[in-house]
Structure 1
């Protein structure tokens, strides 16, 4: 509005006449040289019209001062008729008036159009942002690999959408909602699309964050509109991705029960509870944080079922690799089963990314097919980062890195019986100065206490090897020590594996919700906290001493592995085994 007022003022005073800048001395000189044709005096301001037609406003000290300076000249010029002194009055410039009118008309038209657009925009603002995906008809369970149990459980939903009378005749109530729980990238969204594709029903997808807005009431309106759309297209599936954005436990915010997010959640609960008829509308949602969802959202009658979509096992990884490599030319030396064994813990998204990076490597090397080396290099890039051969490394640093990685590798061979060495390198990758890659022999659901203690020994191997061979230690072991300490702390506080502390869990999850838990204190005393710290230190110190003992007894093997690394920079599992068999 200030800009508009300024424009009006400029049009009013500036259009219709050319303005000339003058000061008092210029005015005196102009009067003396008879260049002024008329004057209009108003207080200490004189508006003059020059003989060339220009106009100017000049501040004068006072009328008496002006009379004293050029009074005689002014009187002489007025007697001759060359200077006219006008009485003070308001003169209207019709050009300025016309411009003001045009400005007002323009502003009225602009605001009228804005209000018309804003009216429809305000209506659309409360509309649901759910998208009706047509391409889900081409997605079926055949496109989902490595999730056989999940697909079997979801098959009932498909059957109900195809033939609801089969269940209704037996008095069965189909679940109203299905919550897919799992780590990121495990295929939760793909499973939801596959259900819609198998049942050949409309699929509405929306993110949980799309409901929440700054303005109170907008999210609840969008929920109502979403269910209205769904009812018009039933039978259908409504999929809410990242539902934890809107379904977080109530009372966890600073706004009490009246903030926008909680009103949106309340409306979602009402719609799912069936105050209106929602038969034929199946709710599906995905989250990787079920622990923070509101309990009312998970009760029977809302999200009846929770299906855990976990990272795939070795069979599942092989099936996923087949899906993502179906349209990629693979060389004869590529064994998908071997790749599946080497990628334990990878999600479906990780495996898709691995095959994509492999294709990029092959294209960069002008290969016509994706080779085994392309896949191995892509896997290293995904895990460790890009190889940095151009980094300048001193001989001392190179030797230190060689013994550091040799320490990890030797201890993994001697202590860890659940995996085998795949590759060891002293070539920097990402932030790491080198790496030791060992592959688990089989997928495991649980880890024993002894296996966790052995894992700590393997992680400490690099630091101990530096100390024993270089008579010095470096910062290169910081990440190893941090991860080893985390394992020790979890053993004490989460898994109850400490004899000194006892079989008690002191794990608080590490989550603090502002509002509900802002002043929340730990569930144990300061003395217990000190005991936990002491026990973690005891575990780490004891394993450090065991690491020193093992490496001291196998110093010859450690030296051979380090010398091999200094010679070749990278060795594979077979070359590593040869160092033990000498």
Structure 2
């Protein structure tokens, strides 16, 4: 019926305007006020031209929410916590007997690519709910009140669509919640404040005895930026950390993404899980996809372990490039990478997997390290060793050329970040300090002291192994790669000599 009247209006209005024009009536004022009224209406609703058409309809609804928790790997603890929170929606009779107040909001916090969006989709499937998704940036406009209007529309849409679908609950997922939920500083950001205030008001208006029930799931990788009013009990009641997967989780994720791919029977997925230390779920998916691409390039019917290892390098460093370097540059890069490798074998024997001289991404060469056991606590000695490995390349250049090059910039950034970790953990001569109260001068002083001392130790250790450099340099220049076993044989042979 509504469609019929819409078509009738669309056909009648142009005919009326043409008729009025023919009989000599000026229709321009009518058109002007009609256009102005339409723009004003859509602006107030948070849609339309003045808001940059950021909403095509009202909100994107994911109608197919068949994604389950079983399809998410590497987040067992997070899934367990989330399921426990969702049971407040599923087991209604039980929670009413115990007098439990259902949760209104769940905050998923963790690094990018760890599966926060997937967890929200699985939550909608688990609770048999309507699922609506939005990003924090969708609510931000230059016009005051537009974001608040969109928040109201979001909650209204959730209730309307849940009723229409015959569901008793709806899950609203807001990604990048820090965009609208950042800490209020009393400044002039009236649009941001009104949007946040409206979100708080809508959350306060969620009552346990109302149907359909609304559950908000928000995701952020910067939890420290969120306003305390959002984080208090009664709003986002549960804060669930979604962290990078451990080895067991990485193996699970790799197997999930290998299900639809022809894998060689000799592929050791356990070894690939070890090689992908500190990878997120998104990076692991990319590894499997890139490995399939490498297999296709070589016209291989199956994905072999060599394809997976190449894919790991690509995800970490980027694709191989066709940069042509001079002989002098190749030799400098080779010595630089050998400095990293020799230093790594000294502080952590057996750690080097490969030394490569092939340009990849922004690097002209690289050292691939054997995966270390998942570790979450670091000692001063361990962090000092990591700094010495990072400084090994620059130290080798100083030993053989008497100066460093710009190729050490990334290594120095890594070393300075480790120094920052040492200071913030109270592992330096400064003792326990508040890092936010450190002046730039004090940072420069403590960084210079630690890095100069460790650079001196690194150069002494590498000076004593110049024969290892000389023996392995020609092999690396000729072959472009040295595997870890061959490299350790060279070190053992020439150190004994």
Deviation at 1:478, TM superposition (A): 2.0
Paired residues of 1:412 and 1:420 also in contact (CA < 8 A): yes
Q: Give the equivalent residue in structure 2 for 1:530.
A: 441
Q: Give the equivalent residue in structure 1 for 2:173.
A: 239
Paired residues of 1:358 and 1:378 also in contact (CA < 8 A): yes
Partner SS state of residue 181, structure 2: coil
Aligned CA distance change for structure 1 residues 382 and 275 (closer, same or farther; 3 Å): closer
Tell whether 2:256 aligns with 1:326. no
Once the two structures are overlaid, the 10-residue window that deviates more, 340-349 or 162-171, is 162-171
Q: Give the equivalent residue in structure 1 for 2:234.
A: 301
Paired residues of 1:404 and 1:466 also in contact (CA < 8 A): yes
Partner SS state of residue 425, structure 2: coil
Tell whether 2:51 aligns with 1:130. no
Q: Give the equivalent residue in structure 2 for 1:403.
A: 335
Q: Give the equivalent residue in structure 1 for 2:5.
A: none
Partner SS state of residue 476, structure 1: helix
Partner SS state of residue 496, structure 1: coil
Provide, for residues 34-65 of structure 1, a one-character-per-residue CA deviation record: whole Å limited to 9, x for no partner: xxxxxxxxxxxxxxxxxxxxxxxxxxxxxxxx
TM alignment of 1:353-372, pairs within 5 A: 353-372=286-305
Once the two structures are overlaid, the 10-residue window that deviates more, 569-578 or 100-109, is 100-109
Deviation at 1:489, TM superposition (A): 3.5
Q: Give the equivalent residue in structure 2 for 1:570.
A: 481
Instruction: Please give the alpha-carbon distance, in whole angstroms, between the structure 1 residues aligned to 2:428 and 2:418.
Output: 12
Instruction: Please give the alpha-carbon distance, in whole angstroms, between the structure 2 residues aligned to 1:459 and 1:104.
Output: 82
Instruction: Please give the alpha-carbon distance, in whole angstroms, between the structure 1 residues aligned to 2:128 and 2:208.
Output: 22
Aligned CA distance change for structure 1 residues 566 and 215 (closer, same or farther; 3 Å): same
Tell whether 2:490 aligns with 1:579. yes
TM-score of the pair, normalised by structure 2: 0.86
Q: Give the equivalent residue in structure 2 for 1:551.
A: 462
Deviation at 1:224, TM superposition (A): 2.1
Instruction: Please give the alpha-carbon distance, in whole angstroms, between the structure 2 residues aligned to 1:440 and 1:179.
Output: 32
Aligned CA distance change for structure 1 residues 104 and 245 (closer, same or farther; 3 Å): farther
Q: Give the equivalent residue in structure 1 for 2:414.
A: 483
Q: Give the equivalent residue in structure 2 for 1:65.
A: none
Aligned CA distance change for structure 1 residues 504 and 122 (closer, same or farther; 3 Å): closer
Q: Give the equivalent residue in structure 1 for 2:100.
A: 172
Deviation at 1:328, TM superposition (A): 0.8
| Cα-Cα RMSD | 2.4
Partner SS state of residue 477, structure 1: helix
Q: Which has the larger radius of gyration?
A: 1
Partner SS state of residue 215, structure 1: coil
Partner SS state of residue 125, structure 1: coil
Deviation at 1:334, TM superposition (A): 1.8
Instruction: Please give the alpha-carbon distance, in whole angstroms, between the structure 1 residues aligned to 2:297 and 2:389.
Output: 36
Instruction: Please give the alpha-carbon distance, in whole angstroms, between the structure 2 residues aligned to 1:277 and 1:382.
Output: 46
Instruction: Please give the alpha-carbon distance, in whole angstroms, between the structure 2 residues aligned to 1:275 and 1:333.
Output: 55
Instruction: Please give the alpha-carbon distance, in whole angstroms, between the structure 1 residues aligned to 2:149 and 2:410.
Output: 49
Q: Give the equivalent residue in structure 2 for 1:459.
A: 390
Q: Identify the match of residue 432 of structure 2 among 492, 500, 503.
A: 503
Instruction: Please give the alpha-carbon distance, in whole angstroms, between the structure 1 residues aligned to 2:188 and 2:398.
Output: 52
Once the two structures are overlaid, the 10-residue window that deviates more, 448-457 or 245-254, is 245-254
Aligned CA distance change for structure 1 residues 158 and 530 (closer, same or farther; 3 Å): closer
Q: Identify the match of residue 314 of structure 2 among 374, 381, 401.
A: 381
Instruction: Please give the alpha-carbon distance, in whole angstroms, between the structure 1 residues aligned to 2:310 and 2:25.
Output: 69
Paired residues of 2:44 and 2:146 also in contact (CA < 8 A): no
Instruction: Please give the alpha-carbon distance, in whole angstroms, between the structure 1 residues aligned to 2:403 and 2:23.
Output: 83
Partner SS state of residue 279, structure 2: coil
Aligned CA distance change for structure 1 residues 292 and 278 (closer, same or farther; 3 Å): farther
Paired residues of 1:203 and 1:238 also in contact (CA < 8 A): yes
Instruction: Please give the alpha-carbon distance, in whole angstroms, between the structure 2 residues aligned to 1:102 and 1:421.
Output: 90
Aligned CA distance change for structure 1 residues 274 and 111 (closer, same or farther; 3 Å): closer
Paired residues of 2:105 and 2:236 also in contact (CA < 8 A): yes
Instruction: Please give the alpha-carbon distance, in whole angstroms, between the structure 2 residues aligned to 1:247 and 1:402.
Output: 49
Q: Give the equivalent residue in structure 2 for 1:84.
A: none
The structure with the largest helix share of the pair is: 2
Partner SS state of residue 183, structure 1: coil
Q: Give the equivalent residue in structure 1 for 2:371.
A: 440
Q: Give the equivalent residue in structure 2 for 1:422.
A: 353
Deviation at 1:151, TM superposition (A): 1.0
TM-score of the pair, normalised by structure 1: 0.74
Paired residues of 1:459 and 1:480 also in contact (CA < 8 A): yes
Deviation at 1:433, TM superposition (A): 1.5
Provide, for residues 451-509 of structure 1, a one-character-per-residue CA deviation record: whole Å limited to 9, x for no partner: 111111111111111222234432222221232123224323x122112x222122x3x
Instruction: Please give the alpha-carbon distance, in whole angstroms, between the structure 1 residues aligned to 2:37 and 2:341.
Output: 71
Instruction: Please give the alpha-carbon distance, in whole angstroms, between the structure 2 residues aligned to 1:116 and 1:383.
Output: 54
Once the two structures are overlaid, the 10-residue window that deviates more, 467-476 or 307-316, is 467-476
Instruction: Please give the alpha-carbon distance, in whole angstroms, between the structure 2 residues aligned to 1:423 and 1:110.
Output: 73
Deviation at 1:252, TM superposition (A): 6.1
Instruction: Please give the alpha-carbon distance, in whole angstroms, between the structure 2 residues aligned to 1:121 and 1:102.
Output: 33
Instruction: Please give the alpha-carbon distance, in whole angstroms, between the structure 1 residues aligned to 2:206 and 2:258.
Output: 48
Pairs aligned (count):
457
Q: Give the equivalent residue in structure 2 for 1:66.
A: none
Give ranges in structure 1 of 5+ residues lacking alignment.
Answer: 1-99, 509-522
Deviation at 1:567, TM superposition (A): 2.3
Aligned CA distance change for structure 1 residues 275 and 174 (closer, same or farther; 3 Å): closer
